[in-house]
Chain A
Amino acid sequence: DSGVTQTPKHLITATGQRVTLRCSPRSGDLSVYWYQQSLDQGLQFLIQYYNGEERAKGNILERFSAQQFPDLHSELNLSSLELGDSALYFCASSVLQAQGVNEQFFGPGTRLTVL
């Protein structure tokens, strides 16, 4: 158990719909990352937040957005869903310090199926 929790575990929805994925980081971790894992694209970095502020952006579609709340939990919002958005979505967290490995701890993921 990494200490990172994600809900829900599974999500099945239809094209055009909007969903919200939730992540609670490990206690004490200020940085949260979102990754998408699909069969054709592999594991891809989407976005990173640090203490409520966006810190880095990767291959995140405009239909997707994220935020990190004052209690440090994060939500990834996916809208106008398409079949190709079906994937595993992982959240990770890290301490984030100037010194140290800044190891990322991954949650168990949310499996999104768009029908």
Chain B
Amino acid sequence: DAKTTQPNSMESNEEEPVHLPCNHSTISGTDYIHWYRQLPSQGPEYVIHGLTSNVNNRMASLAIAEDRKSSTLILHRATLRDAAVYYCILRGNFGNEKLTFGTGTRLTIIP
């Protein structure tokens, strides 16, 4: 599985945007970029995914570099509830569904 690199930790002020970076220089053409997060004492939850184009959903936005070697998860207005470990994961689609978690980025929200 291709590897991803994320900062170990980040801090952000409440109600401000947060940009969580992820490097994946060995990404293959068929790899999707997935983001999951794990809130304290809970199982991981899906946030967003993309292939080539930028994506938006109710939780976040995903900006993907043109060469696909990096991506950024954007939380537009962080709340205390967004404090979690965020995982950037490369995954094929049908036929290779397992998630390979790295160490993720621990996001702390400052009130």
We find that the number of chain A residues with CB closer than 8 angstroms to chain B is 29
Chain B interface main SS type: loop
Q: How far apart are B103's CB and chain A's nearest CB, in angstroms? A: 6
Please determine whether A33 and B94 come into contact, CB atoms closer than 8 angstroms.
no
The size of the chain B interface, using a CB distance under 8 A, is 21
As a 0/1 sequence over residues 98 to 114 of chain A, the CB contacts with chain B under 8 angstroms (1 = contact) are: 11011111111100000
A108 touches B99 (CB 8 A): no
- For window 70-115 of A, CB contacts with B under 8 Å fall at 90, 92, 94, 96-99, 101-109
Chain B, 51-78, CB within 8 A of any chain A CB: none
**With A101-B49, A102-B93 in contact, is A45–B43 under 8 Å at CB?**
no
- The complex places the Cα of A97 from the Cα of B96 at a distance, in Å, of 12
Residues of A within 8 A of B (CB): 2, 4, 31, 33, 35, 42-45, 48, 55-56, 58, 90, 92, 94, 96-99, 101-109
